[in-house]
Amino acid sequence: MTNLEYIRENGIGNGFTVSDPHDGFRKDNRLWFGTCDTCGKSVVNSVYDKTWNHTVPAKGISGDWQATREVDYCPQA
């Protein structure tokens, strides 16, 4: 088992744990989904990022659209 597989399957985040980690709808091990045990929000794990990430609003954005970014920690922890 690789380090990425271990992190994914055991729901190990950076200061949080992930409930119900599962492979995405394509079932190709590239994008996994789960729920953060700390805040209850959806988190993702990408083969490119290799960490469980929360999606948060990007700061300094104004106008009619909302930008987001992914962070490897729980914003509520």
Residue ranges per structural domain of the chain:
3-71
pLDDT higher than 90, residue 63: no
pLDDT higher than 70, residue 62: no
Residue-level pLDDT at 2: 79
Q: What is the 3-state secondary structure (H, E, C) of 8-73?
A: HHCCECECCEEEEEEECCCCCCCEEEEEECCCCCEEEEECCCCCEEEEEECCCCCCCCCCEEEECE
Residue-level pLDDT at 66: 76
